[in-house]
């Protein structure tokens, strides 16, 4: 499993990508980071026309039930695969 230090290093490294990733990749990065750092999503799903917030919520909710350790390892592996 990835250590908290490896997780944070991967988060910093993700900001060094030379090209902006597509939306699906960004949502996967976001959801794994949030699951790894905070655990399961909480609160109500955004409503209305805030499509970005809805997409982010749904992506994070898709990680529900995954342990923080597992999410951190997947995040580190995914960031490494982008380089």
HSE of 8, CA atoms in CB hemisphere, 13 A: 3
Tell me the pLDDT band of 2, cut-offs 50, 70 and 90. Answer: very high
Average pLDDT for 17-22: 94
Interhelix angle 68-81/4-14, rounded to 10 degrees, is 40
Q: What is the pLDDT of residue 54?
A: 97
Tell me the pLDDT band of 15, cut-offs 50, 70 and 90. Answer: very high
Q: What is the pLDDT of residue 68?
A: 97
Q: How many helices (H) and strands (E) does the chain have?
A: 4, 0
């Amino acid at each position: 499993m990835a250590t908290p230090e490896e997780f944070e290093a991967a988060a910093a490294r993700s900001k060094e990508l030379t090209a902006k990733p597509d939306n699906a990749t960004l949502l996967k990065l976001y959801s794994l980071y949030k699951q790894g750092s905070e655990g399961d999503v909480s609160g109500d799903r955004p409503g209305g026309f805030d499509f970005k917030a809805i997409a982010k919520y749904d992506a994070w909710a898709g990680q529900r039930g995954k342990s923080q350790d597992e999410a951190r390892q997947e995040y580190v592996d995914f960031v490494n695969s982008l380089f």
